Structure formats: structure tokens, C-alpha cells
Amino acid sequence: MTETADADPAPPRPGRPRPLRVCFVCTGNICRSPMAEAVLRERLAAEGLAGRVLVDSAGTDDWHVGQPADPRAVAALREAGYAPGAEGHAARCFGASWFARYDLVVALDRSHLRALRRLAPTREAADKVLLLRPDGSDVPDPYYGEDAGFAACLEIIEEAVPRLVGALRSAA
């Protein structure tokens, strides 16, 4: 696994708390996690929380580093009315040092949850990782399927995000 280095966001302005930072993680960072990132960003903006929560995404594996979001994921987002933020996406691989950067790391399936917890350098870092779906089930990977699988995946993400928005609203 290759860790990509990105600059940390600007420090908070005096008198303002540092925004919460959330990172969605799937396998290659070209389907599920960019879709979840787009959904959460839009929901946070609708709730007036856009400046108080920063949203990002990455993958557990480096297969697609630097590649754009899958065109089928972008099409599913566009069809559902989301802003085309995923169009400028470049896939990245989550690294152990990234735990210091994020307050919450959201796994899209149980294999990502296990991989992230193994990667975590400390118990506190591992405790930052949670599964997106509250019932503990996976967001299925649409990559090897038909276009309709991306729309179905997006619906699952949309159903799970309100719980996350509620938790972030309380924390922010």
C-alpha cells in the first residue's frame, strides 16, 4: 500500500474551532467513497455545517491512485442531482499517518473496517473508524457490475448519511 501525502488544510482562524474532519474509505477510492463524500458534503451544506466539517475520501489499496472517479459513479451522482464534485476527484490511498489528520474515518464495508483498524497506529486511532451503515452491513461494491449498481449503491449511502450528519451536527 502506498501512502500519498497531501497538505493539511489551513489552520483554524483565531477564535474559531478547528473544523471536524471526516474521511470515507473504500477499496480503490473511485466508486463508493467519492459518492459518499459528495452526498455528505451536500447534506452538510444543506444543514449549514459545510464550514464546520471537512469531508474527504481515500482507498485502502493503491490500485487507482491518481485516477478520477469511475464515470459510472459520477453519472449516478449527476443523475441524482448532486454537484459534480466527483468529476475533479483523484484517487488516494489512506495511510497510517492520516489518522492524526481525521476525527472520523468511515469505512464503506467490513473489509475496509478491518483493514483500517489493523493500519491504525494506536487504539485511539482505531477507535476513530466506524462502518457507514448503522446496521453493520456493507455498502456493496458496484465496480464489477452494471450502471444500475451505482445508483443502488448511491441510494444505500443516502439512507445512511443522515445518521452521520446528526452525529456531526452534535460534535460540531
**Domains of the chain (ranges, CATH numbers):** 20-171 (3.40.50.2300)
The verdict on whether 32 is a catalytic residue reads yes
**Catalytic residue from among 61, 103, 138, 141:** 141
Question: What is the SS3 assignment for 56?
Answer: strand
**Catalytic residue from among 23, 26, 31, 93:** 26
> How confident is the model at residue 16, as a pLDDT?
61
Question: What is the SS3 assignment for 57?
Answer: strand
pLDDT in tens, the chain (172 residues): 434 444 444 444 555 678 999 999 999 999 999 999 999 999 999 999 999 999 999 999 999 999 999 999 999 999 999 976 666 889 999 999 999 999 999 999 999 999 999 999 999 999 999 999 999 999 999 999 989 999 999 999 999 999 999 999 998 7
> How confident is the model at residue 18, as a pLDDT?
86
> How confident is the model at residue 2, as a pLDDT?
37
Question: What is the SS3 assignment for 20?
Answer: strand
pTM: 0.90
Query: CA 143, 144, 150 angle in degrees (round to 5)?
Result: 45
**Catalytic residue from among 32, 41, 72, 133:** 32
The residues, ordered by sequence, that sit 6+ positions from 17 with a Cβ below 8 Å of its Cβ are 52
Torsion of CA 12, 169, 139, 123, to 10 degrees: 60
The verdict on whether 23 is a catalytic residue reads no
